[in-house]
A and B are shown apart, each in its own frame.
Chain A
Amino acid sequence: MSKSKVIQVEGLTKMFGDFAAVNSITFEVEKGEIFGFLGANGAGKTTAIKMLIGISHPTSGKATVAGFDVYTQTEDIKKNIGYMSQKFALYDDLTVKENIIFFGGIYGLPRKIIKEKSDALIKELGLENVTNQLVGSLPLGWKQKLSFSVSLIHDPKIVFLDEPTGGVDPITRRQFWEMIYKAANQGTTVFVTTHYMDEAEYCDRVSIMVNGKIEALDTPKKLKEQFQAESMNDVFLELARG
């Protein structure tokens, strides 16, 4: 396996009865890349991600994530990735600090490291005054930024972000993306899904899933050229409308 390919997927398929939720998808993601994983609701994105993060067993095909096999090494995958989605982020009834300690503990970090990471993270996000507040009482944007930082607490090779910015105000949404750029710049691979097509333009490369298959995969610039479209929104509408 090439060292710079942190995700390698070949012919990956998931069947539910006769229905191919994910139908033989093939792609690779490089180290430090921001990879946009787009598709309409029901196109198969979530099913594909579940296989990549080791919580759903593929029907056929091959895939390695951070060098580990999605069939046989799912525990190693989980240790080496971060995950954040809007549905599952932090515990609302734990405080900011408790959440950080909890997730640090889950990933098996030593107490001393958790303390250091926690202090650094709180300082960087400017959360010094709310460390003992319940996460449920924080504005959504703060929660999402904290959640992203927590998903990086164990220095994962790859972080999976499933619609991380839905409903967030435009300024916070951009601060969030600056955090993504920063993580990618430091070598973390970012695998992100979004319904905001301007965010698709922020990605190094973008894949678009339609009915279980990847119908397009390239840089936003090349996709726009290929489909003679002015924006990624037009590319998406062109493809997903069929």
Chain B
Amino acid sequence: MQDISFEVKPNELFGIIGPDGAGKTTLFRILTTLLFPDQGAATVAGFDVVKDYKKIRNSVGYMPGKFSLYQDLTVEENLNFFATIFGTTIEENYDLIKDIYVQIEPFKDRRAGKLSGGMKQKLALSCALIHKPKVLFLDEPTTGVDPVSRKEFWEMLKRLQQKNITILVSTPYMDEAALCDRVALIQDGKILQIDTPKAIVKHYHKSIYNVRSANMYQLITSLKAYEHHHSVYPFGEFVHYTDKRSDFNPADLNAYLKSKNLSHIYIERTEATIEDTFMELAI
């Protein structure tokens, strides 16, 4: 991580968006006082991450990317354990975890190691919330999780936000950026941009075109061989194409692709997404 600066507002749902190896986990470990920074300063919930580390530990909840609860304690024992460590009880903060915990309560006597991935995730979140933290750190909570469970997880986060908890969440899924209030795009230890998802997309300065044809592979190779291309990225059923020229005319591209024996050519202007912006910044 190099020279990172940012602020998160109270009750904000703040996303750290970037691929594996970008530095997301390192950042979270520093902010949760598990790792010393080499340089720079940071405060969480008003406390210094080095001097006031004990106070921070009482004020934040942290759900690491890797499942880190006790596998051979039951669901209920894990939750009790974390409540006790923070000098509280399940009953005292039950309201906060109720939504999530009711879904795993039928399995409260099952050992954590025997839970499915989705249930482990819910238990880990319950344990991270049991002491009513001011700030919640979630490190890639949805990696490897299917779209249905991902959607439910984000709905859960929105509800927590209503209960006055500030949430920092990291994810490699660009589409999840749109669900945050603000996001930091991060790659190779550097923040590429910080803004609302809408503003980030607005900053994209080039015109993007959806291009499609009968043979995807030939289309990609032909576009990449086109001397005027700026970027060529597969995007769902289309290829997102940008051109180097400011006076680009799609008809020229159409003629070029025809000359490459491509058929069923379709070219139309489209809007940039967070992912387009990320790739443009990351090059």
Using CB atoms and an 8 Å cutoff, list the residues of chain A in contact with chain B: 39-43, 139-141, 163, 166-172, 174, 177-178, 181-182, 184-185, 195-198, 201-202, 220-221, 231-233, 236-237, 240-241
Are B149 and A40 in contact, CB atoms less than 8 angstroms apart? yes
Knowing A167-B19, A167-B20, A169-B282, the reply to whether A174 touches B148 (Cβ < 8 A) is: no
* Interface assignment of B187: CB less than 8 Å from any CB of chain A: yes
From A141, A201, A233, contact of B147 by CB (8 A):
A233
Knowing A182-B217, A185-B217, A221-B237, the reply to whether A167 touches B143 (Cβ < 8 A) is: yes
A-contacting residues, B22-64, CB 8 Å: 22
In whole angstroms, what is the CA distance A214 to B116 when docked? 22
In whole angstroms, what is the CA distance A149 to B151 when docked? 33
* Interface assignment of B10: CB less than 8 Å from any CB of chain A: no
From B144, B147, B172, contact of A236 by CB (8 A):
B147
What 0/1 readout, one digit per residue, does chain B (250-283) give for beta carbons within 8 Å of chain A? Answer: 0000000000000000000000000100110011
Subset of 19 A-B contacts with CB under 8 Å: A40-B148, A41-B145, A167-B143, A168-B20, A168-B172, A169-B22, A169-B282, A170-B19, A171-B279, A178-B220, A181-B217, A181-B220, A182-B217, A184-B217, A195-B144, A201-B237, A202-B216, A240-B146, A240-B147
5 nearest A-B pairs in the assembled complex, by CB-CB distance: A169-B19, A201-B236, A181-B217, A40-B146, A167-B20
Are A167 and B145 in contact, CB atoms less than 8 angstroms apart? no
In whole angstroms, what is the CA distance A172 to B172 when docked? 12
* Interface assignment of B234: CB less than 8 Å from any CB of chain A: yes
* Interface assignment of B174: CB less than 8 Å from any CB of chain A: yes
In whole angstroms, what is the CA distance A202 to B233 when docked? 12
CB distance from B184 to the nearest CB of A (A): 15
In whole angstroms, what is the CA distance A41 to B151 when docked? 13
Tell me the dominant secondary structure on chain A's binding face: helix
In whole angstroms, what is the CA distance A140 to B25 when docked? 15
Interface residue total, chain B, C-beta cutoff 8 A = 38
Are B116 and A41 in contact, CB atoms less than 8 angstroms apart? yes
A-contacting residues, B211-266, CB 8 Å: 215-218, 220, 233-237
Chain A contacts for B133, CB-based, 8 A:
none
Chain B contacts for A166, CB-based, 8 A:
143-144, 172
Are B151 and A237 in contact, CB atoms less than 8 angstroms apart? yes
Chain A contacts for B143, CB-based, 8 A:
166-167
Knowing A40-B149, A163-B144, the reply to whether A140 touches B237 (Cβ < 8 A) is: no
In whole angstroms, what is the CA distance A153 to B36 when docked? 44
In whole angstroms, what is the CA distance A205 to B220 when docked? 19
A-contacting residues, B126-171, CB 8 Å: 140, 143-151
In whole angstroms, what is the CA distance A168 to B172 when docked? 7
Are B19 and A172 in contact, CB atoms less than 8 angstroms apart? yes
Chain A contacts for B237, CB-based, 8 A:
201-202, 220-221
Are A170 and B278 in contact, CB atoms less than 8 angstroms apart? yes
Chain A contacts for B172, CB-based, 8 A:
166-169
Are B148 and A237 in contact, CB atoms less than 8 angstroms apart? yes
Are B18 and A177 in contact, CB atoms less than 8 angstroms apart? no
From B150, B216, B217, B235, contact of A198 by CB (8 A):
B235
- Closest chain B residue to A202 by CB distance? B234
CB distance from B76 to the nearest CB of A (A): 23
CB distance from B276 to the nearest CB of A (A): 9
Chain B contacts for A42, CB-based, 8 A:
116-118
Are B187 and A169 in contact, CB atoms less than 8 angstroms apart? yes
Chain B contacts for A168, CB-based, 8 A:
19-20, 172
- Closest chain A residue to B187 by CB distance? A169
Are A237 and B146 in contact, CB atoms less than 8 angstroms apart? no
Chain A contacts for B173, CB-based, 8 A:
196
